[in-house]
Structure 1
Amino acid sequence: MSGWALSGRLPALLARSPGLHRLFLRLGRSRAVDHLLDWVAWSAVRAMGVGRLDYERLADRHICVTLAGEEGVSADMDSQVTAVVAATPAGRHKVARALRNLESLAPEVRAGLLKTWIHLVAVTSPSRDAHYLRGGGGPLWNRRPMDVIVAPFVGCQQGCRGCYSQGDRNDGHTDAGRLRAVASQLRDLDVYNVLLVGRGEPFFDDRGRAALFSTAKRYPQMFFTVYTNGLGLTDRDLDDLKAHPNILPFLSIDGPAAINDWRRGAGVYDRVLGVMRRMRERGQFFGYICTVFSQNHEAVADPLFIGQMAAEGCQIGFYSLFVSTPGVSGEGMMLDRASRERYLATIRRIETQVPIPLIDIDGLEAGFGCRARRSVTLYVDAVSGQVSPCIRAAITDERCRLGTPGQGGRRLADILSSEAFRAARDRLPESGTCVAFAKAS
């Protein structure tokens, strides 16, 4: 039996037997299996070495096999979605380039990334498919979220122009217990990736650091993508990040020095590049994230800028369009419709020409529709407990608020199935026009 056939038949078996499904998850998430995967990942990294693999051929083979499947076998549905995205020339380039670039990382970092990926493929993905099949199937996108945005941090040492969290960044406090409780519920929902974004800076104080590292250590089965301004990162923080390869840090930078410092403050550009160089010397995985606005949309899509970021050690470039927030400075920063279309066209044109893969979430949604509307993602304010379909369409509804850890109350799974949450989600547009831009126009 091929590996593909096994990956298709296992979810069907788990779907028919809830008891076996629970046993499968208990074993797959056990400490013994985690230690076993440590050994497997290290052995694989040593065997692969550097420069031995044809990544273009490997990417093509995975995409073709995933799309084809096997007659009579239900497909790994999340892999199908990923493969459809990756099957374009630009997508194939991204996959191959991302895999090849990993060879520049320290062996222990590559092994850690591989271990979490094996967790996702061998345990999380079959479990997700089993839940989907047990629920009767339906539209492919109508299933558990794949990634979730969580805002757990409070406080920031910067005052960036147009920052959407200026009004609430100092409300409440960072609570490690609340973050771990949210992560536990996300793991129970078989979420792949937790994006720790919003409200505050993760390395602003020791409470944020403790919350981040303790949560990532407790849940090695998930990736934790962290957006940081980089200004509070110490050498100890960098060592801790290297010791937790399932944390994927992205440093905020909004273009060349003049534009970046216009928004983020004098001297910030040079300080961020200094952090990048320290991380590159350690062989760490990291990327950069750009907020795209009127003053920088041409500069951040310039292959020269992207090439510089790659030379500094960035593995991936992430792009997100700026959205105006009422009551926050940022007038004239939000792109109009024509400028957005030109920017997205530029990204599509250059993404096969640059040395690292680019991820533009707005461009992805322009082609595939609103991810929040299709239940692919959602937003959890881990300070207040409020759950919303999307960070750009946050709601205030007590019926969609998580209970306090240890004191009972609503759980995330109950909120997602509630009429209140579904009504908020169904108000989002089905098309690729983000609700934030639809309101602006």
Structure 2
Amino acid sequence: MARFAIASAKAADRRSKSEKDGLHVPTFLIASITSACNLHCAGCYSRAEHATQDCEPVRQLTAEEWDRVFAEAEEMGISFILLAGGEPLLRRSVVEKAAARPNLLFPVFTNGTYLDGKYFDLFDRKRNMIPVVSIEGGREKTDTRRGEGVYDLLRANMEEFSRHGILWGASVTVTRENLDEAVSPVFAEELTSKGCRLFIFVEYVPVTEDSRDLAPDEEDREKIRKAVGELRSKFPGAIFLTFPGDEKASDGCLAAGRGFFHINSHGGAEPCPFSPYSDVNVKETSLRAVLKSGLFEKIRDGGLLLEEHVGGCTLFERRGEVEAIAKTSES
């Protein structure tokens, strides 16, 4: 981590230089390195948008193409690359490319079912790789959404992380059904006792009109904000983040390169995983060009990220407008 701290300071200098040259480079990149997944989680947004599937996609970026993306990101001053999917551990070759870049920090968002001896060894040796396991609360909430037996598997993974002294995190999809349990001190205590030092609470994004009742409303979001504030005070050794709930704290949405952007498994550059629209592809252009794309610039310059809105996710609530911008940018 000492090496990463030095690299992070140098990355900040590179971002500052780019800013002076007229290009804002964000700190984060979200890389969905595969669209394949072995689970069928209830209400999965990615499956509903057909971004995730059972089989291995044909046109996904190769490990070498992802390595080029990682190299460009490092050269630009991006410090954090979140590896997502699908299930990212299905692509061991890409994960190994990431692990070979110690100047970048890679949180790896995994359902935990493909963690094996080789992966535990990798996370032990390569401390720039931070496993972030998806969990919904206790056994009942987790298995109801993710499948029977998943909770016990995750508990076994936690024990293995603890045995190796591996820093790890938890990603919790917060719905109106698991809200109280997900942000409770009891749940946080249970995970921190096993070495969890990063909690990411992702507000559920409805996939159909019928599932809107699961999505937190404004009263629920206020409850989440208050509870997370209390958790930060009670567990100062851990980091607690909410997505997209921290939009208020950051004066608006951070997508489209303002604070982060998303590359999907096929190379399409998107504002955010919850806003799956693209007008450029990294197979054909550089990350610098991506940040200057018509779609990203119109979203940022049009004030869409800063507008008042009802709901947790700005771009999801205004997906019709984003889709229209994407179509005009392509033409």
TM-score, length-scaled by structure 2: 0.85
How far has the Cα of 1:214 moved from its partner?
A: 2.0
Asked if 1:147 corresponds to 2:28, the answer is yes
Gaps of 5+ in 1: 1-112, 136-141, 404-408
Instruction: Report what 1:414 is aligned to.
Output: 289
1:353 and 2:228 are equivalent in the alignment: no
Residue identity matched to 1:202: P
Q: How many residues align?
A: 307
Is 1:423 equivalent to 2:278 in the alignment? no
Structure with higher Rg: it is 1
Q: Is the contact between residue 351 and residue 357 of structure 1 (CA under 8 Å) also seen in structure 2?
A: yes
The alpha-carbon distance between structure 1 residues 226 and 175, as it changes in their structure 2 partners (threshold 3 A), is same
What corresponds to 2:323 in structure 1? none
**Deviation at 1:307?**
0.3
Secondary structure of 2:234's counterpart equals coil
Q: 1:272, CA displacement in angstroms? A: 0.1
- Residue 131 of structure 1 corresponds to which residue in structure 2? 18
Partner Cα distance (1:432, 1:365) in 2: 11
* CA positional deviation for 1:270: 1.2
CA distance in structure 1 between the aligned counterparts of 2:7 and 2:290, rounded to whole angstroms: 27
Structure-2 change in CA distance of 1:331 and 1:360 (3 Å)? closer
Aligned-pair CA distance for 1:309: 0.5
Alignment of 1:396-411 (within 5 A): 396-397=278-279, 400-403=280-283, 409-411=284-286
Retained in 2: the 8 A contact 1:392–1:435?
no
The 3 A distance-change label for structure 1 pair 163 and 187 is same
Secondary structure of the corresponding residue to residue 131 of structure 1: helix
Relative to its length, the structure with more strand (as a share) is 2
Structure 2 match to 1:202: 88
Give distance in 2, aligned partners of 1:239 and 1:197: 20
Contact 1:195–1:225 (8 Å) recurs in 2: yes
Q: How many Å separate the matches in 1 of 2:308 and 2:43?
A: 24
Cα shift at 1:266: 1.1
Q: Cα distance, 1:436 vs. partner?
A: 4.8
- What is the rounded CA distance, in whole Å, between the counterparts of 2:254 and 2:169 in structure 1? 22
- The reply to whether residue 380 of structure 1 matches residue 263 of structure 2 is yes
1:397-419 CA distances to partner (integer Å, 9 max, x unpaired)? 3xx2222xxxxx32221122133
Matched, 1:240 2:115: no
Q: Which moved more, 1:335-344 or 1:182-191?
A: 335-344
C-alpha separation between the residues in 2 aligned to 1:348 and 1:436? 25
How far is the alpha carbon of 1:333 from its aligned partner? 2.0
Letter paired with 2:216: L
Partner of 2:322: none
Q: Deviations over 1:166-210 (max 9, x none)?
A: 223233346212211211221222101001123x11223xxx011
Structure 1's 335 and 280: CA in aligned 2 closer, same or farther, altered over 3 A? same
Alpha-carbon distance in 1 for matches of 2:2, 2:196:
18
* Conserved 8 A contact 2:299-2:305: no
State the distance in 1 between where 2:135 and 2:126 align: 23
How many angstroms does 1:325 deviate by? 2.5
In the alignment, is residue 175 of structure 1 matched against residue 66 of structure 2? no
> What secondary structure sits across from 1:319 in the alignment?
strand
Question: How far apart, CA to CA, are the structure 1 residues paired with 2:300 and 2:204?
Answer: 22
Kept in 1: contact 2:255–2:305 (CA 8 A):
no
Matched-pair contact (CA < 8 Å) for 2:81–2:104: yes
Deviations 1:57-93 (A, max 9, x none): xxxxxxxxxxxxxxxxxxxxxxxxxxxxxxxxxxxxx
Q: Distance in 2 between matches of 1:288 and 1:228?
A: 9
Alpha-carbon distance in 1 for matches of 2:19, 2:110: 34
1:412 aligned partner, one-letter code: L
The amino acid across from 2:5 in the alignment is W
Establish whether residue 184 from structure 1 lines up as the match of residue 64 from structure 2: no
Matched, 1:301 2:183: yes
* Residue 315, structure 1, aligned to residue 197, structure 2: yes
Q: 1:169 to 1:418 in 2, by over 3 A?
A: closer
Contact 1:366 1:432 in 2 (8 A): no
1:222-246 superposed Cα distances (whole Å, 9 cap, x missing partner)? 1111101111110121001111111
Instruction: Report if aligned partners of 1:388, 1:394 keep a CA contact under 8 Å in 2.
Output: yes
Cα distance in 1, alignment partners of residues 102 and 232 from structure 2: 31
Q: Does the aligned pair in 1 maintain the 2:98–2:106 contact within 8 Å?
A: no
Identity %: 24
**Match of residue 393 from structure 1:** 275
Q: What SS does structure 1 have at the residue aligned with 2:187? A: helix
Q: Which residue matches 2:326?
A: none
Change (3 A) 1:160 1:330: farther
Kept in 1: contact 2:14–2:76 (CA 8 A): no
Contact in 2 for aligned 1:145/1:377 (Cα 8 Å): yes
- 1:417 and 1:436 map into 2 onto residues whose CA distance is 19
Is the contact made by 2:274 and 2:316 (CA closer than 8 Å) also made in structure 1? no
Q: Please list the CA deviations of residues 332-370 of structure 1 after superposition, one character each: whole Å capped at 9, or x if unmatched.
A: 321222222222222223320236331223332122221
Contact 1:287 1:316 in 2 (8 A): yes
Residue in 1 that maps onto 2:317 = 438
The AA in structure 2 aligned to 1:115 is R
